[in-house]
Amino acid sequence: MDRFQHYIDGRFEDAAQGFDSIDPATGTPWARMPAASAEDVGRAVVAADRAFGTWAATTATARGKLLYRLADLVQEAAPRLAALETRDTGKIIRETSAQIAYVAEYYRYYAGLADKIEGAHLPIDKPDMEVWLRREPVGVVAAIVPWNSQLFLSAVKLGPALAAGCTVVLKASEDGPAPLLEFARLVDQAGFPAGVVNILTGGPEAGVALTTHPKVAHIAFTGGPETARHIVRASAENLAKTSLELGGKSPFIVFDDADLDSAANAQVAGIFAATGQSCVAGSRLLVQRSVKDAFLARLKAKAEAVAIGAPDAMETEVGPLCTARQRDRLHGLVTETLAAGAKLVTGGQMPQGAGFYYPPTILDCSDVPDAPSVRQELFGPVLSVVTFDTEAEALQLANDTAYGLASGVFTRSLTRAHRMIRGIRAGIVWVNTYRAVSPIAPFGGHGLSGHGREGGLAAALDYTTVKTVWLRTSDDPIPDPFVMR
């Protein structure tokens, strides 16, 4: 089998323990991965802390040039990284290829932003004082990413953190870590000083050691709410700042005046792309009752025409889920939802044969709007459908969730779109489109979808702290404070 290594303090090294990574398309082991111990994590954090002083003192322009170099290397290596991500996670090659090529643009954006993180001069109310603010890097960042879209999810952490002058310990998920461990070679090739970026993988032992380490100043995490709760509790040990990009149960709202063909294409992309394994998946379809039948007919035809197959084949449109436990959990929730009274529109059958496949599935939950598939994040190609009659009801249903990451609104009415934009409680509102992203635009949510933003200038500022500088301009001696005048 292929073997991968950790990247700590500028060196590639084996771990004392390891585990087999499973190919989701076949269900068989294909590579041996290192499992970081608490000691490994400690060495990585110490290395990052040791490198921090030098990296923070490096000019912002110089940091930007290294990020530009990394962006070029990511673009050149995109085919290799895409093939690894497809092999290790089951994500289809047509998606990993396009996404990783675009990841380079995130590094370019933050490369250009590095020397534009500015302080400020304050018009202070004291005539003999000059006061200004310096933005300085916060310190060592613990970046923790899941297996889905991991090169993208690491770029929105590494890019702004490195641009701001922070050093990073990046922990890849133990599910499908190959592309990030390979990405470490690009970091090394780009010429980042030893210790500035450290990349490892492992299970709960590594996660706890990283999030509780006293030298970690900021924890940037993408994953599920349960793990996030553990991280927030762990951060009490070091009082590290946290930014959390968690799951979603995003409403996809279709009004009766929408372009139904366009909305259907967007809905298919929003729930079946990446085999539904996306935090912004439009997994709750809220459709106006008068167009429900016409819209579901379009969706059913598209879902049943989806090409399911080997993830490394360019013609494949839906591949396997990443793990067997995820497929089994998904099927269990589908079964519970049907038992609760939902109607099966299409899919819903556990396929036979090798691999962790699950068919595109549509559940009509109009009579059971509180069914498990409507309430819980499924992280798979399963769409739950609920109907509404009025705009007010659509808004109430959209906000009837503990999550608040993304949403989609399809209508030709500009005034209605603006009302929905104001009313929906989510970090992202897409109008007549879905799943659009850019390094320029912030990304994040609230509630069980977390806090903080990734992307845009806001992300870079999140990795800084403000230092207030007071400079007295008078040459007169400071008066004795204990002499009354």
Tell me the per-residue pLDDT of 291-322, one tens digit each, with 9 for 90 and over.
999 999 999 999 999 999 999 999 999 999 99
> How is the chain split into domains, by residue range?
2-245+455-470, 251-431
Q: What is the pLDDT of residues 173-229, one digit of tens each?
A: 999 999 999 999 999 999 999 999 999 999 999 999 999 999 999 999 999 999 999
For the question of residue 245 being annotated catalytic, the response is yes
The domain made up of 251-431 has a fold known as Aldehyde Dehydrogenase; Chain A, domain 2 (3.40.309)
Q: Which of 417, 403, 408, 406 is nearest to 374 (CA)?
A: 403
Q: What is the DSSP letter of 420?
A: H
pLDDT above 70 (res 481): yes
Question: Options 3.40.1190.20, 3.30.450.20, 3.40.605.10, 3.40.50.970; which CATH number does 2-245+455-470 get?
Answer: 3.40.605.10
* Order of strands across the sheet that contains 430-431: 343-346, 361-364, 382-388, 284-288, 251-254, 408-410, 430-431
Say if residues 157 and 169 touch (Cβ distance below 8 Å).
no
Which residue's entry shows tokens 């106006």?
A: 288
Rounded to an integer, what distance in angstroms lies between the CA atom of residue 305 and that of residue 307? Answer: 6
Going by DSSP bridges, is the β-strand pair 216-222/140-144 parallel, antiparallel, or unpaired?
parallel
Say if residues 273 and 424 touch (Cβ distance below 8 Å).
no
How many beta carbons lie within 10 A of that of residue 5, not counting itself?
Answer: 19
Angle at Cα 196 formed by Cα 195 and Cα 202, nearest 5°?
70
> Phi and psi dihedrals of 372, rounded to 5?
-55, -40
- Which helix (H) or strand (E) is 95 found in, with range? helix 93-113
Mean of pLDDT over the chain: 97
Residue 483 banded pLDDT, cuts 50, 70, 90: confident
- For residue 355, CA distances in Å to 21, 28, 44, 92, 482 come to 14, 8, 35, 14, 80
- For residue 62, CA distances in Å to 10, 108, 158 come to 19, 13, 16
Q: Which of 187, 188, 71, 196 is nearest to 137 (CA)?
A: 196
Rounded to an integer, what distance in angstroms lies between the CA atom of residue 149 and that of residue 89? Answer: 9
- At a CB cut-off of 8 Å and minimum separation 6, what does 395 contact? 420, 423, 424
pLDDT above 90 (res 330): yes
Going by DSSP bridges, is the β-strand pair 450-451/241-245 parallel, antiparallel, or unpaired?
antiparallel
Q: What is the pLDDT of residues 426-461, one digit of tens each?
A: 999 999 999 999 999 999 999 999 999 999 999 999
pLDDT of residue 484: 76
Angle at Cα 231 formed by Cα 443 and Cα 113, nearest 5°?
35
> 174, 245, 317, 454: which is the annotated catalytic residue?
245
pLDDT above 70 (res 485): no
